[in-house]
Amino acid sequence: MALPNSNIIIPRRSIAGMEGMWAKMWDPPTESNPITPERLNPTNPVPDFVGTLIGRPPATPNTLDLELLDGLTLPAWDGVNIDFMTFGNKDIPLASGGTFPGTTIRVPRGVIFHATTKGKGPPPHTIHWHGMEPTPMNDGVGHTSMEIGDYTYQWQPNFIGSYFYHCHRNTVQHFEMGLYGFLIIEPPDAYTPGGGNNPGGYPRRTAANTSAFPQFPGFQAGEISPADPHAYTIPYDYEALWVCDDVDSFWHNVVGQEAKAFYPSILTRPGVDDQFFHGHFHDFNADYWYITGVSVDGGYQGSTGTIPPNVVVPMDLNSGVTGMQVSINAQTGKTILVRCLCASYNSMRVTFPVDVVIIAWDGRALGVPPFGRYSRAYKVPAGTSIRMSVARRFDALIRSTTSVNDFATVEFINTRGENVPGREQIVKTALIPIVIN
């Protein structure tokens, strides 16, 4: 858009004559989309594994059944109701009406993944599998794939690590409204019983190269191949999922009711001829904050709030794995894996009260082939901040031989004053309990 207080105008092609395309935006297809190109038989065992646990097999074997919904209303810490757009999973009763964030999807590396998806009601939707490398039709980027009527996404993961999935149609609005969830790529045999594997529990393994950190036992090198599913992986005994998000309740409860507010009329000056400013999308002003769907209490801007102890993600919402934590409660001498996603539109800092070792960024394990020459795992000393921006993820390992009863700190930073000396503003601080005995 044009810069404020500037004579510079960025020309934009008029959409006159393209009204049919814009009508499609507001009236998404109800008929089925094309059959998935080069469609293969799905081999993902996770939906069937979860179906066995809850006594409800998936509608289609080896296939997730997702809906992109709107209309979920959740109370914040102060009782204010906030509207969300959410993902629902019809095969899982606990998730059938949508959850915030979406259910955590776990997929073994190398399987053929299928998700049958439907978009409900305006505005239209897609699913982008952030960090995966599917064909363009299955990548879920608005305008370059399709808006969902009824479509089966197909892809095959190649790298073990932490990813996420989200709507990529009017991403600015839909991501902020809650249309996203965590995506974990597991070792190839993670859902194969026996041989020391525990498909529904811990210990589990993830990709890492901790050869320089012998305090974490069980690291296995080797050659990454189907014959060696544990090459360049390490076991962990506990797992914590931190999805850090800020919410502008005005965006959700007022602007979100009029999806067209973010789109232009048939003229050429963005930010002038359209309703961008009238819709208030230029003024993101977070007033609520969440850690993995848990509302951070303690007050409004400038305050500090604490996540309750003993918060655990239900196995129904975690691909059948029991015991994934938010607030950490672990034993000394055990390995803890923290997966952190910045879903905040502001920048943020994460500070641990103990030493951690960062083993991965954005789904790629550091020091692991084929990129081992260009990166390595590294230690972050206690009290040292880790800076993050929207959509970034890191994986961190903790192993303490002494007791810990403290908090990790998540600081949400107003990006308007970011990198301006004296103007950095911390708009909210969240404390996440870490108890190790």
Which domain covers residue 310, as residue numbers? Answer: 238-248+284-436
Domain edge (last residue) among 186, 202, 227:
186
Q: Are 359 and 395 in contact (CB under 8 A)?
A: yes
Higher confidence at residue 251 or residue 303? 303
User: Which amino acid is residue 245, in one-letter code?
Assistant: D
Kindly state whether residues 425 and 294 are assigned to the same domain: yes
Q: pTM (2 decimals)?
A: 0.89
pLDDT at residue 11, as a whole number: 56
Kindly state whether residues 58 and 118 are assigned to the same domain: yes
Kindly state whether residues 88 and 178 are assigned to the same domain: yes
Flag the least confident range among 46-50, 247-251, 346-350, 374-378: 247-251
* CATH code of 79's domain: 2.60.40.420
The tally of domains found in the chain comes to: 2
426, part of any domain: yes
Flag the least confident range among 28-42, 225-239, 327-341, 419-433: 28-42
Residue closest to 47 by CA, chosen among 109, 107, 134: 107
Domain edge (last residue) among 148, 169, 186:
186
208, part of any domain: no
Kindly state whether residues 162 and 288 are assigned to the same domain: no
Kindly state whether residues 169 and 242 are assigned to the same domain: no
**Cα angle, residue 202 at apex, residues 200 and 204 outer, rounded to 5°:** 95
Flag the least confident range among 120-129, 133-142, 284-293: 120-129
Higher confidence at residue 10 or residue 373? 373
Higher confidence at residue 301 or residue 339? 339
141, part of any domain: yes
Chain segment 161-194, per-residue pLDDT in tens: 999 999 887 788 889 999 999 999 999 999 998 7
Query: For the chain, what is the mean pLDDT?
Result: 86
217, part of any domain: no
pLDDT at residue 151, as a whole number: 84
Q: How far apart, in Å, do the first and last CA atoms of the chain sit?
A: 54
390, part of any domain: yes
pLDDT at 334 over 90: yes
Residue closest to 366 by CA, chosen among 381, 356, 378, 380: 378
275, part of any domain: no
- Band (pLDDT 50/70/90 cuts) for residue 25 is very low
Flag the least confident range among 146-155, 210-219, 387-396: 146-155
pLDDT at residue 68, as a whole number: 86
pLDDT at 34 over 80: no
Chain segment 88-127, per-residue pLDDT in tens: 998 999 999 999 999 999 999 999 999 998 877 656 788 9
* CATH code of 309's domain: 2.60.40
Kindly state whether residues 27 and 174 are assigned to the same domain: yes
pLDDT at 279 over 70: no
